Amino acid sequence: MAGAFVRVAVVGAGYMGGGIAQSFAAHGIDCDVADESAQRARERVQRLHEEAGEFAADGLLPPRMADAVREHLRAADSLESAVDGAGYVAEAVPERVDMKSAVLERISANVGRDVVIGTNTSAIPIGELASNVTAPERFLGVHWMNPAPFVPSVEVIPAAGTGSSVVEHVVELLRSVGKVPTVVGDSPGFVANRLQYALFREAARLVEEGVAAPAQVDEVVRNSFGFRLPFFGPFAIADIAGLDVYRDGFTTLEAAYGERIGTPHLLTDQVERGRHGLKSGQGFYEFTDGLGAEVARHRDRAYAELNRLRERLGRVELREQADPPR
Ligand SMILES: NC(=O)C1=CN([C@@H]2O[C@H](COP(=O)(O)OP(=O)(O)OC[C@H]3O[C@@H](n4cnc5c(N)ncnc54)[C@H](O)[C@@H]3O)[C@@H](O)[C@H]2O)C=CC1
Ligand SMILES: O=C(O)[C@@H](O)C(=O)[C@H](O)[C@@H](O)CO
């Protein structure tokens, strides 16, 4: 059914809209982009074409995909002409409810009722934006990560009224362009940004309290739990560490920071049921029948390989602010 979306339109050709458009076009899907003015859309598309060539020259994209971006990605003179004939429209204008509402109203006034409309909002509940769209069963959140051509995940967020076939078609479309779509519930920040912003908030508190400078926080994160994240999410990481150990750690953190870092019931419940993670054979995941040993072996191989990749790639040195924030 991805064929139902042979043409897509992207409204808002900035950092995200541009990358989303490149991702579709690189896979041979015609993609028309609109921005605030025809001139801005033309300038952005010219840059997106050049950038695809640079990706190919650097070996990040096969040359045929860069050619496909030049062939299939086009600038439209207006929102109305971009969406004309599209089967799927991606909205990627700034993260402001007023701006998104006006643009979504305009999109839905200019397309048929069966045209699927996805918003790339980072955090605004989809149910809140749905009131701007006629036939809201064809509306949903489709949240890409930056930079869109290279980061696999796209959160797919149905609102209460989104049709299940619409969700299926969008999942299929995203898979057809090499993405990893995950359907999640409609809650502010969804999964990725609720976690990402919670991490950033605590990182900022550490700096505000003088515990560490931004560069020190980043160094610790990259080389500690951040090092594990390409392979394991927070539940697998907790299982591998030991859920009883996590529960005991929370005792100290909760005493110091209260509810902000309070012990989750989900965790104490596992520990009380004797599910301590990998070492007990069960936690949030099952490690029986030799799976525990397999997970540990894969973990060690993955981490050793990641160390080698990091050595090979080297680092880009970020220059610290001369007058660091407190
Ligand atoms: N920057 C990021 O890392 C990510 C951002 N997002 C979300 O994607 C959306 C866009 O963010 P960015 O691309 O980073 O912003 P951006 O500022 O780079 O791009 C926004 C684009 O929308 C255009 N625009 C503004 N008003 C418009 C209108 N009425 N009609 C058509 N185009 C209009 C702007 O000229 C600009 O090109 C936001 O909702 C943001 O939260 C989602 C994932 C990652
Ligand atoms: O991290 C990402 O790419 C996304 O989840 C985002 O939505 C943005 O970084 C966002 O937080 C910035 O507005």
Q: Over 80: is that where the pLDDT of 46 sits?
A: yes
Ligand nearest, relative to CA of residue 20: 1
Instruction: Write the residue with the smallest CA distance to atom 6 of ligand 1.
Output: 122
ipTM: 0.98
pLDDT band with cut points at 50, 70 and 90 for residue 323: confident
Ligand 1 centroid from CA 118, angstroms: 14
Distance CA 285, CA 290 (A): 13
Q: Is 179 annotated as a binding residue?
A: no
Ligand 2 centroid from CA 125, angstroms: 15
Please tell me the predicted confidence (pLDDT) of residue 277. 98
Ligand nearest, relative to CA of residue 36: 1
Instruction: Write the residue with the smallest CA distance to atom 3 of ligand 1.
Output: 146
- CA of residue 295 relative to chain centroid, distance: 25
Ligand 1 centroid from CA 145, angstroms: 12
The overall average pLDDT reported for the chain is 97
Instruction: Write the residue with the smallest CA distance to atom 1 of ligand 2.
Output: 145
Q: Is 100 annotated as a binding residue?
A: yes
0.95 surpassed by pTM: yes
Paired sense of beta strands 153-158 and 139-144, if any = antiparallel
Ligand 2 centroid from CA 293, angstroms: 35
Q: What is the dihedral of CA 292, 182, 152, 24, to 10 degrees?
A: 150
Q: What is the dihedral of CA 52, 57, 59, 64, to 10 degrees?
A: 60
Atom of ligand 2 nearest to the CA of 123: 7
pLDDT digits (tens, 9 = 90+) for 17-31: 999 999 999 999 999
Delineate the domains of the chain, giving CATH numbers in brackets: 2-183 (3.40.50.720), 224-313 (1.10.1040.50)
Please tell me the predicted confidence (pLDDT) of residue 1. 39
Atom of ligand 1 nearest to the CA of 123: 41
Ligand 1 centroid from CA 3, angstroms: 27
3-class state of residue 56 by DSSP: helix
Q: Over 70: is that where the pLDDT of 325 sits?
A: no
pLDDT digits (tens, 9 = 90+) for 247-288: 999 999 999 999 999 999 999 999 999 999 999 999 999 999
Instruction: Please report which residue ranges of the chain form alpha helices under DSSP H.
Output: 15-26, 38-57, 63-72, 79-83, 97-109, 126-130, 164-176, 192-208, 214-223, 225-228, 234-241, 243-257, 265-272, 291-313
**Ligand 1 binding site (Cβ under 6 Å of any ligand atom):** 11-17, 34-36, 40, 92-95, 99, 103, 120-122, 143-144, 146
**Ligand 2 binding site (Cβ under 6 Å of any ligand atom):** 95, 122, 145-146, 192-193, 196
Ligand 2 centroid from CA 108, angstroms: 25
Q: Over 80: is that where the pLDDT of 4 sits?
A: no
